[in-house]
Structure 1
Amino acid sequence: MTFRQFAFRNVSRNTRLYTAYFLSSMFTVMVFFTFSIFAYHPVLSGGQIHSSAALALSVSKWVIYVFSFFFVLYSMSAFLQSRKREFGLMMMHGMTVRQLRRMIFLENMIVGSGATVSGIGLGVIFAKGILLAGENVLALNKPLQFYFPFKAMGVTLISFLLLFVLISLFISTVLRSGKLITLIQANRQPKPEPKASLLLSLLVVLLLGVSYFLSLRASGLAVVLLLAPVVIMVSVGTYLLFTQLSVYLIRKLKAREGLFWHKTNMLLFSDLSYRMKDNARSFFLVAIISTVSFSAIGALYGFQSMINGTLTQKNPYLFTYLSADGDSKAQAHVQLIDQSLAQAGIAAEPLSLKINYYKAADSSQTLALVKQSDYNRIAGLMGLTPIRLATGDGTAAIVDFGLSRKGEELLHQQVKLQSGMDIEAEQAVVSSAIRAVSGYYVVPDERIGTLGQPFKVSRYYAWHGAAGQHGVQQVGELLTSKLPYDEHATFYALEYQTSRTNDYFGPVMFIGFFVGIVFFVSAGSFLYFRLYSDLDEDKQKFKAISKLGLSDKELGRILNRQISLLFFAPIVVALVHGAVALTALSHMFQYSIFRESLLVLGLFFFIQVIYFFIVRLFYTRQIRSALTG
């Protein structure tokens, strides 16, 4: 048997440990290859359409590549820890440190090469479906025909083979026999009782509590300003949560004799604090990576929903046209819009009103005023609640879109105009009746004439009709190219602008989803590595305990709790972090993304549950096979 055959058989004998590493690496290679397929596609790379999308896809694949470097490095470290006894036996039988390094290098290259080739192969097999899905997600008008991605294959193959070579060289170079022997001896020595500081445990509550409070209370720009300090506090608090607070709570639970001696709790609690301490760094890493995944995908999905919802909320009309002073072609432009709608057979009802602008006495602000009858006429056509004002001088209603708190801020605040008259909003209304301006005043008709001459008057035109009519988007695109968008006149086509926004946001969603999934899969692999690194110890422990009368049902209950804590402790922490982060995001934009957040977090939790059942099944089989063997 040659040395290469020996290394290959080592890989085949450690299938259970290498499986998650192989599959995760293969998935990462496949995602990198997928991005390369798009980045090098003739339609995208040729600059025909969406050159920015091709650039974003190209940059994203290198982000995944850099992350893959650290993922592989961590994975190899986990392998060394789990196989320390095996390496020790090989050295005892005459294997030199140089041969050990060579063996590790060959094993990693075997797995890495297999994962790279398999990832590329799967990418080629599903390339047609991937291109079809990407064509829809990226909202491309031109189809992405299938092509054989030679360049993408070459870049992916060279990049990941180089990555695995560098990691293998690094691992085999830093490996030292002295450290290896120390690890082997340490496996036979009793571990010291894990200790936790009460002060540091209380610091966890303080850091996470303050972070959550600031995140949930902040709104607008304050969310951005608090981002850096909150991220630091959450990161430190999460690390101390697993290294200090969890160990402290477990020791307190062990001190309660009624709980500790109840059924099989003694077996669970006896080494739970050791496991929490040993796995603290892995839990911290998984919690942070998962939080990034949840927050990124949830934010992207929520942001897309917010953009579409905001556009519709701001502008419920098919077309709007705002004509300010100095627009001499307003009537011609309005006539062009009417003619275009008629020629396309689009049913829409034209609306119009005047918006009067007044200066405050101190010239610190400009007030937009609309007649009550004009507002109520449009509100009636839109099916909105009309505004009813009490009689009296200065009474008014302040109206905004609901995307800011301008209405609430100006409520019951008396404003003196340059004419000497006063305006005070007695009610704040959230309405999409008029898109031209947010935070405008609706005043009784008879009041307009008593406020003096406005310094500026705008004419607001809108065409209200059913969304989704055939030809609306095409007419909107044509009119957008012909009509002005400047300080004198502004034309806006809702469906066309929404389509353009989705065109640019599609690549971001596509990239963010895949990057987030890569991070989440890697986080699950970290947990798999940690669980199987303790498999040999668990086999010996439960084999000894089974001789004392441990039943199969009790064994299953202990393993179920043990694996549940490992898999769900960091994920639950990440879900809480992600929920707070997404709530803060909704506060920043004054737009609720509760439904989107719930969907994303629920989906990830469901995937984790499935992953848990699969891993538990195979892990329990390994333990039971050791007991019956």
Structure 2
Amino acid sequence: MTFRQFAFNNIMRNKRTYLAHFLSSAFSVMIFFTYALLLFHPNLQGELASTSKTMSQLATMGMRVSQYLIFIFSFFFLLYSVSAFLKIRKKEFGILMTLGMSPKQLNKLVFIENMMIGMAAIITGILIGLVFSKLILLISASILYIEKGLAFYIPIQAVWTTAGAFFLLFVLISLFTSRTGTRVQLTELIRSDEKPKPEPKASLILSLLAVLLIGAGYAMVFLFAVQRLFSLILLAAGVGFVVLGTYFLFTQLSVYVIRALKKKERLFFNKINLLTLSELSYRMKDNAVMFFIVAVISASAFTGIGTSLAIADPGLAEMTNPFAYSYSSSPDNRLKEKHLQEIKDQLEGANLSYREAKVVPDYTENGKTILKLSEYNQLAVALGYPAESLNEEEAILVPGTIAEKDRFKKNDRLPVSATLMQGKLDISLTVKKAAPYMVLPSFRNIVVVADSLYDRISESSGLQEYYYFAVDQWQKSRGVALALAERIPPDPEADYYLSSLVFEWLSSKQSNGILLIVSVLVGVVFFTFAASFIYFRLYADLERDERQYQMISKIGLSKSELRRMVTRQLLLLFFLPIVLAVIHSGVAFMALQFLVDYSIAYNSLIVFSSFVLVQLVYFFVIRWRYLGHLYQKLV
């Protein structure tokens, strides 16, 4: 038997231990290949550029940054997992060295084993990526709203880039672990599984600090969103406090709580609680860092994906412009009537109901935008808001920006009067109302006055006219917008300008679609790494658990009691970090809700339910296999 055959047989004998490592490695290769598949697609850049000139650059940057993230995190994950696997095999290495294997040969053995697993993961990951490449392109085209789709192509460059990058990564991992993972004394290698674990300890002060840090972090995030104190330092401090508090929660508070429960004799000595709580205290301490990583990574993935879905919502586009089509015209524009009729004809031809409004705003010498009451009522009624009434001594303030709208909603520092200065006129009007909704986008300091007062103030002739069209289902008007763009072509030197909300929304949808693809794939990779950590920790302790439960079964532990005890432990191991991640993300979504006018609850529920469902399926599969192994030892 050659040395390579010996290394291969070692892998096959430990295939249960290395399975999670191999699958996670192959999955990270597949995700990296997916990014490369999109990055090198020959048609991606041209299609995105047709909607927005910056989208192609954003797509390229997003895919490249994501590849770097996957590569870096894969390195640390693989380094951690391989190092952990080597610790499990300390006794095996000690036996090999007792039989005459030199440290140099042991290093060579570890290097060859890691490279074999790495090459198998690279081939498997690329093959799976190739099998699902057409589906990936279809989904990406749908998310990025590319009408013509992304054609299938032979991704030779993506294959070589992925293979080369991960071959280098596995070489580095293999060299590093072979040099550092086996430098242990022979006696320590042989007696590695006989060392007793120390009693888990926790600090009351650090446990309380965990709660205080998480509470302070939440408060800072809400202060950022509710009070609109848009400070990067405040937001970063809030996130940092939550992350640090999460670390202390798992390393200190969780152990402290279990120890406190063990001191309650009625609870501790009730049936199998003695075994369950005793085992949990050790498992929580051993897996605290893993739980912390899983919780933080999962919370980041949930928040990133949910935020991307919320930003791509059409409600965000409506926040800045509630009208589907806006047409501005100068008095010298001879095509005005033709263009307006074309807009109406296209909307009617598409069976889209619409409401039209026309305004001619004027500007005073002291920087106010004045608007006739009758024209304001046209805008308000078109959007479904009530009409207003005024006399010549009254005025209504109307927000033109999101910041003004939020201030008007809160009645924050609203003036009691509005001063209008025009020529010799200096008029002070009583503010009757500050409208809490936008009806005239892109204008500032809007003051609605009575028609008679407007006619007296406005001395200018030849003012720009604005026509607005409110459409109920404007998201379905892409065909109308394309036809209008062809019949009313944009021209910087023309006397008119037509804007379509659906184009602005699609541009935003594409940019956030890129963010969605990036966040989803990176989040799924992190989630897979977290799942493999749990798998490894369970099966790393499986032999010890088998011996332990075998001894306990001799004094009367039944299979049903074993099933209940293992289920309780696995529920905590699988869902404690996920529950905390959901809480962290829920706070982030609640804060985001204060910044937007539309509901993001649906997007949040989609994200949470998807990941929890996957985790639930994974839990039942692992529980079934884990109990199966234990039952075999109890026979």
TM-score normalized by structure 2? Answer: 0.88
Deviation at 1:457, TM superposition (A): 6.0
Change (3 A) 1:41 1:353: closer
Please name the residue that 1:38 is paired with: 38
Separation in 2, partners of 1:38, 1:66: 20
SS at match of 1:430: coil
Identify unmatched segments of 5+ residues in structure 1: 361-365
Q: What amino acid is the match of 1:90?
A: L
Q: What do the CA deviations read for 1:174-225 (whole angstroms, capped 9, x no partner)?
A: 1244267536545323322222111111111111111011212322352634
Partner secondary structure for residue 147 of structure 1? coil
Residue correspondences, number: 616
Supply the distance in 1 between the matched residues of 2:553 and 2:172 (Cα, whole angstroms).
45
1:286 matches 2:289 = no
RMSD across aligned C-alpha pairs, in angstroms? 3.0
| Paired position in structure 1 for 2:270 | 262
Specify the alignment match of 1:126 in structure 2: 132
Secondary structure at the residue paired with 1:222?
coil
1:271 aligned counterpart, secondary structure: helix
* Paired residue type of 1:383: G
> How far apart are 1:559 and its partner, in Å?
0.3
Q: Deviations over 1:345-377 (max 9, x none)?
A: 4675542122233455xxxxx433333322223
Distance 1:540 1:454, change over 3 A: farther
Alignment partners' CA distance in 2, 1:558 and 1:10: 33
The yes-or-no answer on 1:547 pairing with 2:547 is: no
Q: 2:318 aligns with which of 312, 318, 321?
A: 312
Which residue number in structure 2 is paired with residue 9 of structure 1?
9
Compared CA separation, residues 534 and 312, structure 1 to 2 (3 A)? same
Q: Is the 8 A contact 2:37 2:155 kept in 1?
A: yes
Q: 1:212 to 1:448 in 2, by over 3 A?
A: same
| Farther off after superposition, 462-471 or 210-219 | 462-471
Instruction: Output aligned runs, 1:121-520, within 5 Å.
Output: 121-178=127-184, 181-182=187-188, 185=191, 187-219=193-225, 220-222=228-230, 224-305=232-313, 308-322=314-328, 327=330, 329-330=332-333, 332-333=335-336, 335-339=338-342, 341-342=344-345, 345=349, 350-358=356-364, 366-388=367-389, 393-399=393-399, 404-407=405-408, 408-411=411-414, 413-418=416-421, 419-437=425-443, 440-448=446-454, 459-465=465-471, 467=474, 468-469=476-477, 471-478=479-486, 481-484=489-492, 491-520=498-527
Matches of 2:254 and 2:477 in 1, distance apart? Answer: 59
Deviations, residues 301-333 of structure 1 (Å, cap 9, x unaligned):
11111xx2132344343321345xxx4544544
- Judged with a 3 Å threshold, the aligned counterparts in structure 2 of structure 1 residues 201 and 471 are, in CA distance, closer, same or farther, namely closer
Q: CA deviation at 1:484?
A: 4.0
Q: 1:111 and 1:176, CA in 2 relative to 1: closer, same or farther beyond 3 A?
A: closer
Assess, with a 3 A threshold, how the Cα gap between structure 1 residues 564 and 87 changes in structure 2: closer, same or farther. farther
Distance 1:593 1:183, change over 3 A: farther
The code of the aligned residue for 2:490 comes to K
Question: Could you tell me how far apart the structure 2 residues matched to 1:494 and 1:429 are?
Answer: 23
What is the deviation of 1:561? 0.8
1:363: which partner in 2? none
| Partner-residue secondary structure (3-state), 1:226 | helix
CA distance in structure 1 between the partners assigned to 2:458 and 2:164 by the alignment: 75
Q: Deviations over 1:62-115 (max 9, x none)?
A: 321222111111110221233233333333333332222222222211211111
The 1:203–1:426 alpha-carbon spacing in structure 2 relative to 1, beyond 3 Å, is farther
User: Using a 3 Å threshold, how does the CA distance of structure 1 residues 456 and 619 change in structure 2: closer, same or farther?
Assistant: farther
Deviation per residue, 1:390-435 (Å, 9 max, x gap):
x683353545676741313354543444454334444343335433
Distance 1:539 1:454 in 2: 91
**Residues 215, 455 of structure 1: CA spacing in aligned structure 2 closer, same or farther, 3 A cutoff?**
farther
Q: Could you tell me how far apart the structure 1 residues matched to 2:492 and 2:337 are?
A: 12
Q: Distance in 2 between matches of 1:624 and 1:76?
A: 29
Whichever residue aligns with residue 311 of structure 1, its letter is: A
Report SS of the residue matched to 1:435.
coil
Q: Which amino acid aligns with 1:573?
A: L
Deviation at 1:264, TM superposition (A): 0.8
Contact 2:357 2:467 in 1 (8 A): yes
2:632 corresponds, among 614, 625, 628, to 625
Could you say if the C-alpha distance between residues 434 and 87 of structure 1 is closer, same or farther in structure 2, counting changes exceeding 3 Å? Answer: same
Distance in 1 between residues matched to 2:206 and 2:471, nearest whole Å: 62
Contact 2:328 2:498 survives alignment (8 Å): yes
* Percent of paired sites with the same residue: 38
Q: Which moved more, 1:449-458 or 1:308-317?
A: 449-458
Q: Which residue of 1 aligns with 2:28?
A: 28
Q: Output the TM-score relative to the length of structure 1.
A: 0.89
Structure 1 pair 135/470, CA: closer, same or farther in 2 (3 Å)? closer
8 Å Cα contact 1:298/1:600 also seen in 2: yes
Give the Cα–Cα distance (whole angstroms) in 2 for the partners of residues 548 and 388 of structure 1. 87
Bigger shift: residues 123-132 or 156-165: 123-132
Separation in 1, partners of 2:634, 2:239: 46
Separation of aligned partners in 1, 2:2 and 2:254: 49
Q: Which residue identity does 1:226 align to in structure 2? A: L
